Amino acid sequence: MAWFAESLVPEYRASREFVLGRVHTAVSLVSRMPRLLSLMEDGKVEYYAASRVVEVTGVLTDSQAREVDLLLVDKLSSAAETMWLPHNLVRAVRRLVDKVDPAGRVERARKANDGRKVTLEHGENCQSRLVATMRSEVAAACYARVDSLARQRKRDGHKRTYDQLRADVVADLLLGNDPGATTPEASAVVYVHMPVDTALSISESGAELDGYGPIPGAIGREIATNPNSVLRKVLCDPATGDPVDLGRSRYRPTATLRETMRVRDRECVIPWCHRPARHCDTDHEQEWARDNGPTSLTNLTTRCRRHHRMKNTPGWTTTHDPTRGTTTVTTPLGTTHTGRRTPVLNLRMESPPINGTECR
């Protein structure tokens, strides 16, 4: 089902997680909760509420889920109108799940804890969300600790709001700074692509944060002037805007070659995937063993782990043009999609090309 959902991603023009969720919900409604599906067909339950019910019952066996389906429809037949509201519906389903499988509550909690994770969600105006999913008591203890430190800083006379202080404390704790003492500055390894004229305040355009996208020139300069930042020259081809060197014949590429490739590609090369290159695998487009493909910048691309594995999956065909920076993918559905790499250096046609153009 995962690869089927992957082939639908460009058709739906949505993320893989969204499409996979839709497919999973559809399969579950048909096979496990047919009565709930009938209520949807009658217009009594909308998709969001049904998908939440499917999510809550996902921990049950098929027979248990069908039992909850029967009990739920019976309950709704005589329920007040407010019971049909999504949050009330989900609350009722949780009780039914515990009724059908009371012995499984502990196991469900342990299984849910196996899914703990941290995710990064980019937003607008250079702001992003760092979301941590963990056991409730651990999350509560973490928040209490962060809130306590923020309130201490407020008592010390800081003018920032409590929300700002809590956010700053979290960032400082993760970055190893004094919690909440000052507005946090990142010293971790991230790529900021910035033309030299933007770095010198001559221009306000062209700066990009790896994995996020365009940022104001002033924000890029703030990052670059952080005393903990490391600046590195990137020599770009003035005709294409692609990096050709970072300053210096085997299967495993050197660290410099990998970094040059990641700076060039920025993201997974699959047209609809935007996983940052620093979190991707290094892939030989022409296979090293099978095709005698060289370990060179023209034959290396970045692919996230999922799409690296997809490359040789039956039904999928991918081709890469290193000169034009294009990747073409044909899915098992027979549809073809082509993506083009974004140059590191955005070319400005009014300026004559100069050999050895540098970007940062």
Residue 33's φ and ψ, nearest 5 degrees, are: -135, 65
DSSP E strands in 83-205: the ranges are 117-122, 128-133, 192-193
- DSSP letter at 130 equals E
In the predicted structure, residue 172 carries a pLDDT above the cut 80: yes
Q: For residue 47, with 0-12 CB atoms within 10 Å meaning exposed, 13-18 middle and 19 or more buried, which class applies?
A: exposed
For 16-25, 138-147, 281-290, which range has the lowest pLDDT when averaged over its residues? 281-290
Q: Are 199 and 360 in contact (CB under 8 A)?
A: yes
Higher pLDDT, 346 or 233: 346
The model's pTM: 0.54
| C-alpha–C-alpha distance, residues 206 and 216, integer Å | 8
Higher pLDDT, 188 or 91: 91
Handedness of CA 135, 139, 140, 142 (dihedral sign): positive
Run of H or E residues at 317: strand 317-321
**Confidence band of 50 (pLDDT split at 50, 70, 90):** very high
In the predicted structure, residue 97 carries a pLDDT above the cut 50: yes
In the predicted structure, residue 187 carries a pLDDT above the cut 80: no
Average pLDDT over residues 149-168: 90
Q: SS3 string of 237-278?
A: CCCCCCEEECCCCCCCCCHHHHHHHHHHHCECCCCCCCCEHH
The pLDDT value recorded for residue 351 is 46
For 24-33, 200-209, 244-253, which range has the lowest pLDDT when averaged over its residues? 244-253
The pLDDT value recorded for residue 178 is 80
The pLDDT value recorded for residue 54 is 95
Q: Are 271 and 327 in contact (CB under 8 A)?
A: yes
| C-alpha–C-alpha distance, residues 257 and 298, integer Å | 11
| C-alpha–C-alpha distance, residues 180 and 169, integer Å | 5
Q: Are 359 and 344 in contact (CB under 8 A)?
A: yes
In the predicted structure, residue 183 carries a pLDDT above the cut 80: no
**Confidence band of 202 (pLDDT split at 50, 70, 90):** low
| SS3 state of residue 312 | coil
Distances (CA, A) of 63 to 35, 109, 252: 14, 20, 50
The pLDDT value recorded for residue 346 is 60
